[in-house]
Amino acid sequence: MIWDNAFAVSIIPQLLQGLVVTVEITLLGTLIAALLGLALAILRRLAIPVVSQVVTFAVVFIRGTPLLVQAYCAFFVLPDYGISADAFTTGAIVIGINYSAYMAEVYRSGIQGVHIGQWEACTALGLPATRVWGRIILPQALRTVVPMLGNYLIQMFKDSAVLSAITVVELLGTAQAIGSSNFRYLEPLTIAAILFLIISYPSSRLVNRLERRYAPQH
């Protein structure tokens, strides 16, 4: 198969639309993962008897099964039980929940990295739990989490291609659709790969810089 320049140029607008969907789903998924991951990390730390075990099990389950399987279940099985949403929403939620299990671990290590003396000072001052977490512990824990969050964001950006399997028309899904309707896969897939790279490479450079900036100060 020989590269067809005219065809390649003609499909770029459509692929860019797919890229926009990929970026949207990544940002939404990251938001869900960041918030839910934080909630999971705090819940585990609070060590409430049953809740902690449920959270631990959920994390093990999510990390132990492939994202694709989770996406299929959410999209094809849950509607049988009356829970359904469009592909985009389902995709964002599934990938968000999936990554929250990994983010929770990142938060956990960030929280653990805060010196025990900080907790003791809070106890000595009698600060309420909301202040302890919101003003004292998390601001210190999150410093180390920021670059890791960036790494997961980039990984999610690439992983979101999996969601084409549940008909989300993101970048890969768009490329596949173009390919099957024109019987030409070379151009759409190549351009899709380049578009993934154009976003992910500078982003990982940025994350590296963040990593250096937020490195724990000693």
Continuous H helices in 47-86: 49-64, 67-72
DSSP assignment letter at 216: P
* Size, binding site for other proteins by CB under 8 A: 17
**Binder of other proteins out of 84, 112, 118, 190 (CB under 8 A):** 118
- Residue 85, helix vs strand vs coil: coil
Are residues 110 and 141 in contact, defined by beta-carbon separation less than 8 angstroms? yes
Distance of CA 206 to the CA centre of its chain: 17
Number of neighbours of residue 139 by Cβ within 10 angstroms:
11
Task: Report residue 122 as tokens.
Answer: 């809070």
Please give the Cα distance from 37 to 46 (Å, whole number).
14
Min separation Cβ 35 and other proteins, Å: 22
| 216 forms part of the interface with other proteins (CB under 8 A) | no
Stretch 138-157 residues interacting with other proteins (CB under 8 A): 139-140
| 217 forms part of the interface with other proteins (CB under 8 A) | yes
| 127 forms part of the interface with other proteins (CB under 8 A) | yes
Closest by Cα among 168, 171, 155 to 16: 171
Min separation Cβ 135 and other proteins, Å: 7
Distance of CA 30 to the CA centre of its chain: 4
| 213 forms part of the interface with other proteins (CB under 8 A) | no
Min separation Cβ 91 and other proteins, Å: 37
Of 1-9, 32-40, 124-132, 176-184: span binding other proteins (CB under 8 A):
124-132
Of 70-78, 120-128, 161-169, 182-190: span binding other proteins (CB under 8 A):
120-128
**Binder of other proteins out of 9, 66, 76, 135 (CB under 8 A):** 135
Min separation Cβ 125 and other proteins, Å: 4
| 124 forms part of the interface with other proteins (CB under 8 A) | yes
| 113 forms part of the interface with other proteins (CB under 8 A) | no
Please give the Cα distance from 128 to 208 (Å, whole number).
36
